[in-house]
Amino acid sequence: MKLFDKGAIVCAIAASVLIADAAHADPAPATPAPDKSSYSVFNPTPDNLLRSLCTDRPTKSTGPCTVDAGRWQLESDIYNYTLARGGGVRTTTELFTNPTLKLGLTDRLDVEFNISPYERVVTDDHGVTAHASGVSDLFLRLKYNFIGDDGGPVAIALSPYIKVPTANHNLGNGYVEAGIIVPVQFNLPENWQLLFDPEVDVLKNASGSGRHINAIALVSLSKPVSSTITLSAELWTDTNFDPQGDTTQYSADLGVAWIPAAAPNLQLDGGVNFGLNANTPRTQIYVGISRRF
């Protein structure tokens, strides 16, 4: 049995167990959210009113939660390794840190900056090896939460982004691209969370002339298994509608996050993603860290 087949089975079993347990759990009482609308980037949210640490890590998901007003948050891979195979070509991609820096502008709006300072790609094409390395493209993102930032049965946000082509031509395509994500999260009984992440991107055509749509769908289920550890299982798909031919990828992803009881503003995490078809990288493994200031 191939590695990605095993990954799909593991992820499917994990998701099935999580969904089954969530369906039989009793509803939890709602907790009134504090009014924090007066806080801003110039009037930071005090420590006693901070939300529980919430990140867009691990896994590929983007949650609807935003960073508290006037607070900084750093979320980053420490190391990220991806292996792709197909048609006799083997490609490995390594990220040596991949930081996203977030700043809460208001109680519901934050701004985010993501760039990897050093990315290395090694391609072996039928015995001919090519190397590329350098800084990655820069991603600038806003996230606005409409509802549920401080609890409740559902949370919804809107997160548009733009890609600035800062990578060299061996790592990026040299064009500005953009997209938008609409995270929708259901907070189920017993701290279960069910997340949907529809995304639409506008990308440059591979031919270099014109643009096309790229569509991403993700469903993720997560639950704390202790007071400090949370497990996640998700299914992800990406369809690129390039005029030269549609390409669809699928993956099954597993993640674990640990927030130490003595350090509620710190998270350590890791995960593994399994490609489910030939177009998808076979395996991706990463470890990461997040810190709120």
d(C-alpha 156, C-alpha 94), whole Å: 33
- Amino acid sitting at position 235: L
**HSE-CB of 8 using CA atoms within 13 angstroms:** 13
pLDDT tens readout for residues 105-144: 999 999 999 999 999 999 999 889 999 999 999 999 999 9
**48-105 pLDDT tens trace:** 999 999 999 999 999 999 999 999 999 999 999 999 998 889 999 999 999 999 999 9
Assigned CATH for 3-26+45-292: 2.40.160.40
Handedness of CA 96, 268, 233, 242 (dihedral sign): negative
pTM value?
0.87
pLDDT at 100: 98
- The domain limits of the chain are 3-26+45-292
The one-letter amino acid code at 78 reads: I
> What letters, b where the CB count within 10 A reaches 16 and e where it falls short, cover 177-194?
bebebbbebebbeeebbb
CB 59 within 8 A of CB 96: no
- pLDDT at residue 292 above 80? yes
